[in-house]
Amino acid sequence: MKIRKHKTIEIYFVLYLAALILLIPDKKEIEEQNSNFTSRTYSPETSLNIEQNTLNCFIDSDSLGAKIEAFDSVNTFFWSDNIESISFDYFIEDATIGSQLKENPYKQISFRTIENIKENKAFFYWEPKLPLQQSKSYIVHIDASAITKKELDDGSSIYQTNKLKGKFGINIVYNEHFQSTELAFNPNSYPQDDRGSIPQIQGIPNANLINLQNFNLYLDKTDMRLIASQNWQNTIFASNINLLQDLAAKPEIKVICEPENNGGEAIISETSRDKIIVKGKAPNFGKTTVQIKVIRKTDKEEVKVSFRLMPQGIEHPAFAAEMYPEKTYTIDPKLPLSSAEVKAYLQDGSKVLAASQHGEKFYFKPEYSLVDKTLTLERYIDNQLFGQKYDIKVLNYPNSEISDFIKNKNGELILTTKCYGKYKQQFNEIVSLEIEGNAIYRELRGNLRSFENPIPTFIQEFIISPANKLKPFEFKVFAIDKKGKKTNLRNFKE
């Protein structure tokens, strides 16, 4: 009897073929996708560059409780394309038991993300939740969505969504009573990727908890523009290193003055676990470079940062030494908009009338109650009076006046008046002429002139002619303005 042999078909091939068929869209789906397409496309998933594969945290516990001795608090994510926005989603896997945290992961660890879109990076900050009774290992899976904008040749644009994925590990090492602990994490608990497996902690010395991750120093201020001889302060922040425990020696400072003896000074005034505070004086001229260097004692790795101090001159303030009521004046303190605390005050005795809180220009409109008073303008840098005090006098406006008499070809007189200042937010002006003698007047409203500077001035012209041409043309005249004040008396006699 001839036995027929059945050909075997690998089940994996069948599953693979079925998956391919499922991925083929039907005609209806294609039509819907084409009709819905507007300005958004999706690109394939790409990898997210992660600075550190593992973040380590070391916790010691004694009768007083648990205390974090050292830990890598920050991880940095990088991406290559310029993007307009990015959002991060995470799920946390407990690598010790190989399962995702079902309950809120924030109960185990606390974390947050801060994006810096301009520099194409984001910072992941975390810390463990205490109290903690055992060592733990976690895998942080990252699922980010980044939106980029692409300009097309026809002038339109489309938005493209990129999926960025990545992962890294978190090791929390719990050491009770400061006893020596040998920890052997299961290397199979971390998945493999193209960069290799996530490094594991193999053993922890009992006294010195060591951080072997890359560490960095960050400046609070880079180039500082300061007033000559001004006191200054800068802060250098450290990540992934304990500056009190992990250094081979105290932080080093180097001060480079160009040219030498330009007065620039710098010292390290304070060092704490995660920052260095540097203080000093700005140079009188040239520039001063301040360099800070730290060396890790375990592997002698060193990191340097530097910043420059550059002095800038200060001019005299720009202001009107004489001011008049109801007129707005600009006062420019001419203070640098630098890192220093700079202020300017306009005062009547101890009363502050106007102020510049950051060295910028400010404005002041004197009231009539300040007439005949002398105000003072003072400038302060870091709460210290800088330079001299400047006097500003508040004057009253001159009285209105008859400024000119000119005889025209018709034998009439052109009388010109000037009024100064404002009355009820409008120019002060002559409202009437008082004439004694053989004369009458009319105003030439078409010849009105006015200007604001140096003080508000309003100019009017009047025609004065004989009331009786058979009598001598002679008279006395004065004018009355809006405020009810009289001008000087003028006489005319042919």
The two structure tokens encoding residue 206: 């009992």
pLDDT above 70 covers a percentage of the chain that reads 78
**Is the model's pLDDT at 443 over the cut of 60?**
yes
Backbone phi, psi, residue 442, to 5°: -145, 150
The domain made up of 322-394 is a member of CATH 2.60.40: yes
The CA-atom distances, in angstroms, between 221 and each of 231, 265, 480 are 15, 16, 64
Q: pLDDT, tens digit, for every residue of 120-129?
A: 888 998 888 7
The two structure tokens encoding residue 124: 């992941």
Q: pLDDT, tens digit, for every residue of 298-311?
A: 778 899 999 999 98
pLDDT band for position 207 (cuts 50, 70, 90): very low
Maximum distance among all alpha carbons in the chain?
162
Q: pLDDT, tens digit, for every residue of 55-86?
A: 888 887 777 777 777 778 889 988 766 678 88
pTM of the model as a whole? 0.45
Fold classification of 401-493 (topology level):
Immunoglobulin-like (2.60.40)
How far is the C-alpha of 425 from the C-alpha of 482, rounded, in Å? Answer: 12
**For position 205, what pLDDT does the model report?**
37
- What's the whole-number mean pLDDT along residues 372-392? 91
Tell me which of 436 and 15 has the higher pLDDT.
436
**For position 91, what pLDDT does the model report?**
82
Domain layout of the chain by residue ranges:
11-41, 46-189, 217-312, 322-394, 401-493
Tell me which of 263 and 111 has the higher pLDDT.
263
**Is the model's pLDDT at 433 over the cut of 90?**
yes
Q: Are 234 and 338 in contact (CB under 8 A)?
A: no
How far is the C-alpha of 490 from the C-alpha of 332, rounded, in Å? Answer: 43
**For position 313, what pLDDT does the model report?**
73
- What's the whole-number mean pLDDT along residues 441-448? 93
The DSSP bridge partners found for residue 47 are 165
pLDDT band for position 105 (cuts 50, 70, 90): low
Q: pLDDT, tens digit, for every residue of 240-285?
A: 888 998 899 999 999 999 999 999 999 999 999 889 999 999 998 8
Range with the lowest mean pLDDT among 32-36, 345-349, 401-405? 32-36
**Is the model's pLDDT at 456 over the cut of 90?**
yes
**Is the model's pLDDT at 198 over the cut of 50?**
no
**For position 225, what pLDDT does the model report?**
83
Range with the lowest mean pLDDT among 24-38, 103-117, 191-205, 262-276? 191-205
**Residue in this structure with the two tokens 């053993």, named with its chain if needed:** 203
**For position 194, what pLDDT does the model report?**
41
Q: pLDDT, tens digit, for every residue of 328-340?
A: 999 999 887 665 6
**Is the model's pLDDT at 195 over the cut of 70?**
no
**Is the model's pLDDT at 18 over the cut of 50?**
no
Q: If we measure between CA atoms, which residue out of 407, 421, 387 comes closest to residue 465?
A: 407
Tell me which of 474 and 58 has the higher pLDDT.
474
- What's the whole-number mean pLDDT along residues 307-333? 91
pLDDT band for position 90 (cuts 50, 70, 90): confident
CATH code linked to domain 46-189: 2.60.40
pLDDT band for position 101 (cuts 50, 70, 90): low
- What's the whole-number mean pLDDT along residues 216-239? 87
Q: If we measure between CA atoms, which residue out of 370, 335, 478 comes closest to residue 415?
A: 478
**Is the model's pLDDT at 24 over the cut of 60?**
no
Amino acid identity of residue 316, one-letter, is: H
The DSSP bridge partners found for residue 305 are 292
**For position 32, what pLDDT does the model report?**
45
Instruction: Tell how strand 54-62 and strand 85-94 pair up.
Output: unpaired
pLDDT above 90 covers a percentage of the chain that reads 39
Tell me which of 136 and 181 has the higher pLDDT.
136
- What's the whole-number mean pLDDT along residues 441-468? 94
Per-chain mean pLDDT for the chain: 80
- What's the whole-number mean pLDDT along residues 368-377? 96
Tell me which of 361 and 29 has the higher pLDDT.
361
Range with the lowest mean pLDDT among 174-183, 382-391, 421-430? 174-183
Same fold, 46-189 and 401-493: yes
Q: What is the 3-state secondary structure (H, E, C) of the chain?
A: CCCCCCCCCCHHHHHHHHHHHHHCCCHHHHHHHHHHCCCEEECCCEECEECCCEEEEEEEEECCEEEEEEECCEEEEECCCCCCEEEEEEEEEECCCCEECCCCHHHCEEEEEEEEHHHCEEEEEEEECCCCCCCEEEEEEEEEEEEEEEECCCCCEEEEEEEEEEEEEEEEEEEECCCCECCCCCHHHCCCCCCCCCCCCCCECCCCCCCCCCCEEEECCCCEEEECCCEEEEEEEEECCCCCCCECCCCEEEEEEECCCCCCEEEEEEECCCEEEEEEECCCCCEEEEEEEEEECCCCCEEEEEEEEEEECCCCCECCCEECCCCCEEEECCCCCCCCCEEEEEEECCEEEEEECCCCCEEECCCHHHCCCEEEEEEEECCEECCCCEEEEECCCCCCEEEEEEECCCCCEEEEEEEECEECCEECCEEEEEEEECCEEEECHHHCEEECCCCCEEEEEEEEECCCCCCCCEEEEEEEECCCCECCCEEEEC
Q: Are 93 and 100 in contact (CB under 8 A)?
A: yes
**CATH number of this structure's domain 217-312, picked from the four choices 2.30.110.10, 3.40.50.2300, 2.60.40.10, 4.10.80.400:** 2.60.40.10
**For position 399, what pLDDT does the model report?**
94
